[in-house]
Amino acid sequence: MGAIHEEKANRVSISGCNQEFGSGTSNTTDSARGLSRGKTSNRICDVVGSDEGGGITSRQEGMGSSHGTSAGRIRANNGNTAGTSSVHRQEVGRGRKKEKGKQGMKSAVVANQKGGVGKSATVVHLAFDFQERGKKVAVIDLDTQGNVSYTLDQFCVEGVTASSFVSGGSINITNANESGIHLFKADSALANMEKMSLADAGQNLKKGLASLESQGFDICLIDTAPSLGVSLAAALFASDYVISPIEPEVYSIQGIKKMNAVISNMRKVNPTLSFLGMFPSKVDNRKPRHRRNLEALQNAFPQLMIPHTVGERDSIAEACAIGTPVWGIKKSAARVAAKEVRALAEYVFNKMEITA
């Protein structure tokens, strides 16, 4: 894919939206501090929480303790586009170079600051697809809504919940099979996560993922809350990949620059984080505004758009409600949805370079 024209991307107009993408100022300062454990707290605050920076912002005081940043002090800087240029120029599926020859578990966050865009359904169907490839799949549900936990309840791991990964609890799985899905369900203790410092939550999650790798997992998929808070920041800090479903509606599209800024800034503390890209979700081609918005997205962000689309299909919601993948529903209406979701899963699997 060719290089994207930054000015064009920043000024694309979307039907029904009076504000151009990228309005606001761009002002990011990259701190030169190192990433030793003693400095990680301030480093994450500088990168993710600069008042001038963009994406997630918070004040610096208190970031060094587990009682530092509260959810109320983390806010999205709506107009800011700081740090997005490196994301815009990135070819889809590529990030910083990873260690040559390195295998082991791969982790991916499915993230979007907007709810109702198909985020949880994406996690669920990626998990089902990867399971059928014979992989040992961990699913961590960091979203307090617990939609993923509802659908994958049959795969729930006893004794270890999602909050264990951010609280620093033990991640020892005694009944794990060699392959298949293992759900670490959302629990009420996740509400305390937004009161933690980004540093503590991120470091604990990173250690938890390392524990999963040592126990033979091939893939870890993480669902996060649909907001720019500690849950999302910690997941980006600890993971290898991020993928974003995007609904072709104005409210969802307005958050693209903000989401890209967060990813770009997080690379300063997690340089191997790779943005797999955005894919259009819940698309209804019968709606003229969906067609217009989808065309505008593809023209503005050609290098960030995954070449697969998932339509607005009742069969996907039906499948999630009964705990099965959409290709498990024996209805003709589900066949198109199954084809779309399978194609997306194949793309993600290959881009994550998961060993066969």
Distance of alpha carbon 122 from its chain centroid, rounded? Answer: 11
Residue-wise pLDDT tens digits, 295-354 = 888 888 888 889 988 888 889 999 999 999 999 998 888 999 999 999 999 999 999 988
The CATH code of the domain that includes 194 is 3.40.50.300
- Domains in the chain, number: 1
Residue 9 lies in a domain: no
The pair of three-digit structure tokens given for residue 254, joined into one six-digit string:
């307005």
SS3 category, 110:
strand
Residue 324 lies in a domain: yes
**Least confident among 83-87, 164-168, 172-176, 190-194:** 83-87
b (16+ CB within 10 A) / e for 251-289? ebbbbbbbbbbbbbbbbbbbeebbbbbbbbbbbeeeeee
Residue 57 lies in a domain: no
Continuous H helices in the chain: 6-10, 40-48, 85-88, 119-132, 147-151, 162-167, 198-214, 230-238, 250-253, 256-266, 288-300, 314-322, 333-351
Residue 26 lies in a domain: no
Contact 178, 215 (CB under 8 A): no
**Least confident among 58-62, 81-85, 94-98, 328-332:** 58-62
Which residue segment(s) compose the domain that 249 sits in? Answer: 106-351
Residue 336 lies in a domain: yes
SS3 category, 56:
strand
Residue 59 lies in a domain: no
Residue 246 lies in a domain: yes
Continuous H helices in 49-114: 85-88
- 70-79, 82-91, 131-140, 332-341, range with greatest mean pLDDT: 131-140
Q: Which of the four pLDDT bands, split at 50, 70 and 90, describes residue 40?
A: very low
Contact 192, 163 (CB under 8 A): yes
Residue 82 lies in a domain: no
